[in-house]
């Protein structure tokens, strides 16, 4: 596997799996201790993507057993997919950039997101373990990261961006288009919903 120095993949999910497999029953205290090991990441995650309430966390804990094997498989697939998509994206865009990715276990908020500094986050509890949909998702999120980086290089200030429906439609449209270029010929369900349904 090509180890590109421009890519950093931080797999925070492995710590969750270790805690899950070591202590039974897995409780909200176990989940909170996992989150506390990465305060900056999860403070942002819960501020922006789902509420950090005991009811929500207990509901997530109840869902993890059915998703656990899929979570582990997707966490194991992601690093090589990220590297492959990065190579394709760099070729398509005609430039390279530094990419930081985090693989984590969240509370069933969203499947993935990119912060304005260009860091990609993948929440494995909300992902599939099917290769093609994962490639589409990684390409979509990496397109956002490239887009943000190109805006930064041109001196764009994100604090001045109007976050309204039009802006979101534009940003999501660009990411969807780039993802489709990177992953040609896939079914509409994979391209649109990033799963086989």
How many other C-beta atoms lie within 10 A of the C-beta of residue 162? 6
Predicted pLDDT at 22: 92
DSSP string, 8-73: EEEE-HHHHHHHHHHSSS--HHHHHHHHHTSHHHHHHHHHHTS---HHHHHHHHHHHHHHHHHHHH
Secondary structure of residue 3 in the 3-state scheme: coil
pLDDT given at position 192: 55
Instruction: Report the pLDDT value the prediction gives residue 193, as an integer from 0 to 100.
Output: 53
pLDDT at 187: 65
Which pLDDT does position 1 carry in this prediction? 38
Please give the chain's pLDDT, 197 residues, in tens: 345 788 999 999 999 999 999 978 999 999 999 999 999 999 988 887 778 888 999 999 999 999 999 999 999 999 999 999 999 999 988 888 899 999 999 999 889 999 878 899 999 999 999 999 999 999 999 999 988 888 888 888 877 777 777 888 888 888 888 888 888 876 665 555 555 55
**The pLDDT value given to residue 153:** 84
């Amino acid at each position: 596997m090509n180890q590109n120095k421009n890519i950093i993949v931080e797999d925070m999910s492995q710590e969750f799996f270790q805690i899950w497999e070591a202590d039974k029953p897995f409780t909200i205290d176990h989940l909170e201790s996992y989150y506390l090991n990465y305060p900056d990441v999860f403070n942002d995650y819960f501020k922006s993507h789902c509420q950090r309430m005991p009811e929500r966390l207990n509901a997530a804990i109840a869902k993890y057993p059915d998703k656990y094997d899929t979570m582990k498989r997707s966490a194991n697939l992601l690093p090589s997919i990220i590297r492959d998509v990065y190579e394709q994206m760099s070729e398509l865009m005609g430039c390279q950039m530094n990419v930081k990715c985090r693989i984590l276990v969240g509370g069933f908020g969203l499947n993935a997101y990119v912060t304005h500094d260009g860091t990609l986050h993948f929440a494995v509890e909300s992902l599939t373990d099917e290769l093609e949909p994962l490639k589409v998702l990684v390409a979509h999120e990496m397109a956002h990261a490239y887009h943000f980086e190109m805006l930064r290089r041109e001196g764009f200030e994100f604090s001045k961006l109007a976050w309204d429906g039009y802006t979101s439609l534009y940003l999501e449209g660009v990411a969807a288009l780039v993802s489709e270029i990177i992953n040609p010929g896939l079914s509409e369900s994979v391209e649109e919903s990033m799963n086989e349904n």
